[in-house]
Structure 1
Amino acid sequence: MKKPFVTKEQLEEIVKEYPTPFHLYDEKGIRENARKLRQAFSWNKGFKEYFAIKATPNPFILQILKEEGCGADCSSMTELMLSEALGFKENEIMFSSNTTPPEEFVKAKELNSIINLDDFTHIDILKELTGIPKTICCRYNPGGVFTISNGIMDNPGDAKYGFTKEQVIEGYKKLKDLGAEEFGLHSFLASNTVSNEYYPVLAKILFELAVELKEKTGVKIKFINLSGGVGIPYRPEQEPNDILAIGEGVRKAFEEVMIPAGMEDVAIYTELGRFMLAPYGHLVAAAIHEKHIYKEYIGLDACAVDLMRPAMYGAYHHITVAGKENEPCDHMYDITGSLCENNDKFAIDRMLPKIEKGDFIVIHDTGAHGYAMGYNYNGKLKSAELLLREDGSVKLIRRKETPRDYFSTFDFCDVLKDMKY
């Protein structure tokens, strides 16, 4: 059973200053999870987590993770700028992009970040733009279909990312000739896996490739980046990943493949976003409308602007009616927002306690890819982000948008000059 990290009584106090809807993050949970990840990979001297900024691009959250020893995984100019502003330096930043604008390579090189090339043609592009750095990484795509025994399947062959195996081998030779001295290897084969097997299986694939690369190209492999893909149990019946067991599985693969090859000094990197943050964020909304037609609907003051995943993917997010955690779930509802789109639904045919107008609705697991995927369709404005501190206090870490924010890019428009907002 999923339980919120905040009580109805706490919410009643919070809304006195910050009206719903808002995203709320749990500092205590974030820090504990980061420490557990570090513990899981403590056997590897060079281990580092590079938090995927795209999941939760908030400077207060990033500062917490920085204090816990994490680096930053960036995929755009603004993410690089945010990392720079927060004091992430050089090898604390991993830049992984695709179809990359030239100015982003230039910025990444300016920051001396680790550049992770997504395509063979980027070698010449980077050479002409900035020159090849001493440390460089390449993203590997094995193609085909990736499966593991518990039914997880993804299709790297259809993914737009990465080098083929032949391109990686040729690319390392070329990069070495162009002056690169230390190399990383990166790959991402499946998303949101709820399995302790995924990382160990991926790790063994990359470890074996790293040994082959060393033998065929003579390059020095400095690190192997397992990227993301370790997921969370969105549904209450799912068993969560055991990060300690995952770390142990990677260790066994490392000892089986890397140590016999004399590569025991290779560092392990991760780029987790969802695993690091999703369970430690709630979207908190209020029930403001009920509708009785062919189905029973409860309308919230939040909508898909605040959480896009259910509308975009049909993704499941657990819902708790605050203060009614122990009441029977004997009412079936569609939980909706107010967008002029029928897919603006947080839940369909969901069994919940009886909901009355004014109830607080807590939508779970929104700490990653929640606020970050927001938008302004229908002229909707993004909600505030709040941090529940370890001492129980609440800090505003991003104010809610205003009409002035929405109209700000029309500053040149005379029609808007006298608008009252």
Structure 2
Amino acid sequence: MNAKTTPFTKEQLETIIEQYPTPFHIYDAKGIMDNMRAFLDAFSWAPGFKQYFAVKATPNPYIMKMMKEIGIGADCSSMAELILSEKVGITGDDIMFSSNDTPYEEYKKAMDLGAIINLDDITHIAYLEQHGELPDRFCFRYNPGSLKEGGNTIIGLPEEAKYGMTEAQIMEAINYLKGKGITNFGLHTMVVSNELDVDGLVGTAELMFNLALRVKEQTGVEVSFIDLGGGIGVAYKPEQTPVDYKVLSAGVKAAYDRLITGTGHSPIQLAYECGRMVTGPYGYLVATAIHKKDIYKHYIGLDACMSNLMRPALYGSYHHITVMGKENEPANMTYDVTGSLCENNDKFAIDRQLPKIDMGDRIVIHDAGAHGHAMGFNYNGKLRSAELLLHEDGSVTQIRRAETLDDYFATLDFSNL
């Protein structure tokens, strides 16, 4: 059973709300750091193991700096994410720049920072050459296509994804760049998302180790690093089981020992670029029940909406809900929990069994620490909420203030009306 608890009591939460009105996102610093230490420890056997935090999940410099202190880097995919990394002192090998359809100025910024350039398409080599010098190392994003012949059924249908190169293109790219005097190459893939099945995650590692062996056979190059992507899932539902890092690590190690060490290949540095599992379970959207509506169904309206957390509307995702102070009361009411947008899919939960909710109750939406605030938007003129960081001693730091109407109107010029 995956217990859904909060790192604060109702009384602590009310004290926080006195200073920071709902809605807001709040992150548990201790939970994030304990989680990352456990992950790094599980893979301590791997030579030069690196975890690059996928900045897109929670692009906040306070959280990035906190993790930088234990050696975690940044997986970036845009100019803004590169600048965030630079501002907290993450540079060089600690940045993996994995992007697609990328403007040259973003590549240039990444190269200026010394980042590892992870190419999404073979044509990007010529694109870089047209604009300037090539970096002295490359990583290539692999799209394995159909895996139905002895492949990993968990991975799905990569051939329908816009990302990555074919195997033939990777071989061609390496041979071409060898001719340019480049000798340092890596491989990358991202073929699972929110995966809780360890076998699927280990299958990704096996896929990449086998690719490394074929690269050596066909090009004579031994790749020096492999980024296994992200994809480690979050157990959003109470009945789901989180990924056991030690079990995952043991499976990856067995594959590494068999396919890399066991074949005489030189040691390969391994990396992940997890984001969701890093902050997701340790972030909460806190809101207040402000309306109740009874027609053909029972609705509870919050002061938050899908601009604060769009995953339920976009993907139909489940996010657990706690009514603070009523954790032990019977869940004998059926509600749709909604926001105020002019969209009927602006719902955090549909037909959810919850305790009776009264106006003013504090509603905590779990597992909102990744792809929550980061995916916010301003439809209907809604303003993005504050982000708070809860420290182990119970103190709170505001790490992003709430937007104001002045922020919303800042890009408009009313003087010419």
TM-score (norm 1): 0.96
Partner residue, 2:63? 61
- Provide the rounded CA distance (Å) in 2 between the counterparts of 1:352 and 1:39: 38
Structure 2: any 5+ residue segments left out of the alignment?
none
- Alignment-derived partner of residue 224 in structure 1: 226
Moved more, 192-201 or 315-324: 192-201
Who is 2:414 aligned against?
A: 413
Aligned length: 415
Deviations 1:287-333 (A, max 9, x none): 00000100000000000000010111111101010111111110000
Residue 4 of structure 1, aligned match among 3, 6, 10: 6
Paired residue secondary structure (1:220):
coil
Deviations 1:210-267 (A, max 9, x none): 0110121122311000011110111111111101110111000000000123235210
- Return the alpha-carbon distance in structure 2 between the equivalents of residues 78 and 350 of structure 1: 38
Residue 381 of structure 1: CA displacement? 0.2
Give the match for residue 267 of structure 2: 265
Say yes or no: does 1:215 pair with 2:234: no
Equivalent pair of 1:310/1:347 in contact (CA under 8 Å): yes
Two-structure CA RMSD over aligned residues (Å): 1.6
Q: Who is 1:419 aligned against? A: none
What is the identity, as a one-letter code, of the residue corresponding to 1:214? K
Question: What does residue range 6-405 of structure 1 map to in structure 2 within 5 Å?
Answer: 6-145=8-147, 152-405=154-407
- Structure 1 counterpart SS, 2:411: helix
User: Quick check: 307-316 or 147-156, which moved more?
Assistant: 147-156
Q: Is the 8 A contact 1:53 1:273 kept in 2?
A: yes
Q: Is the deviation greater in 81-90 or in 13-22?
A: 81-90
Q: Distance in 2 between matches of 1:103 and 1:44?
A: 34
**Cα distance in 2 between the residues matched to 1:186 and 1:154:** 17
Deviation at 1:413, TM superposition (A): 2.6
How many angstroms apart in 2 are the aligned matches of 1:10 and 1:154?
A: 44
TM-score by length of 2: 0.97
In 1, the alpha carbon distance for the partners of 2:212 and 2:404 equals 51
Contact 2:222 2:266 in 1 (8 A): no
Deviation at 1:4, TM superposition (A): 1.6
Q: Distance in 2 between matches of 1:415 and 1:287?
A: 41
Cα distance, 1:112 vs structure 2: 1.2
SS at match of 1:82: helix
Measured in 2, the distance between the counterparts of 1:174 and 1:44 equals 30
CA distance in structure 2 between the aligned counterparts of 1:185 and 1:340, rounded to whole angstroms: 45
In structure 1, stretches of 5+ residues that fail to align are 417-421
Are 1:207 and 1:258, in contact at CA under 8 Å, matched by a contact in 2? yes
Task: State the shift of 1:401 in Å.
Answer: 0.2
How far did 1:179 drift? 2.4
Aligned partners of 1:332 and 1:146: how far apart in 2?
42
Secondary structure of the equivalent of 1:233? coil
How far has the Cα of 1:198 moved from its partner? 2.4
Cα offset, 1:197, TM superposition: 1.5
Runs of 4+ in 1 over 4 A off after TM superposition: 145-151
Does the residue aligned with 1:356 lie in a helix, a strand or coil?
coil
| 2:414 aligned partner, one-letter code | C
Report if the CA contact (8 A) 1:146-1:156 is conserved. no
Letter in 2 for 1:404: D
- Which residue identity lines up with residue 5 of structure 1 in the other structure? P
CA distance 1:22–1:85, shift in 2 (3 Å)? same
Matches of 2:130 and 2:102, distance apart in 1: 14
CA distance in 1, matches of 2:142, 2:403: 40
Q: Percent identity?
A: 56
Contact 2:28 2:283 in 1 (8 A): yes
CA deviations over 1:86-133 (Å, ceiling 9, x no partner):
111211111000011111111111111000000010111122223222
Rounded Cα–Cα distance in structure 1 between residues aligned with 2:348 and 2:148: 30
Q: Secondary structure at the match of 1:409?
A: coil
Quote the offset at 1:40 in angstroms: 1.0
> What is the DSSP-based 3-state SS (H/G/I as helix, E as strand, rest coil) of the residue aligned with 1:210?
helix
Q: Which amino acid aligns with 2:217?
A: E
Q: What secondary structure does 1:127 align onto?
A: helix
Counterparts of 1:37 and 1:382 in 2: how far apart (Å)? 31
1:53-95 Cα distance to aligned partner (Å, 9 max, x none): 0000000010111112100000001111111111112111110
TM-superposed CA distance for 1:145, in Å, is 5.0
* Counterpart code for 2:224: K
Offset of 1:136 from its aligned partner?
A: 0.8
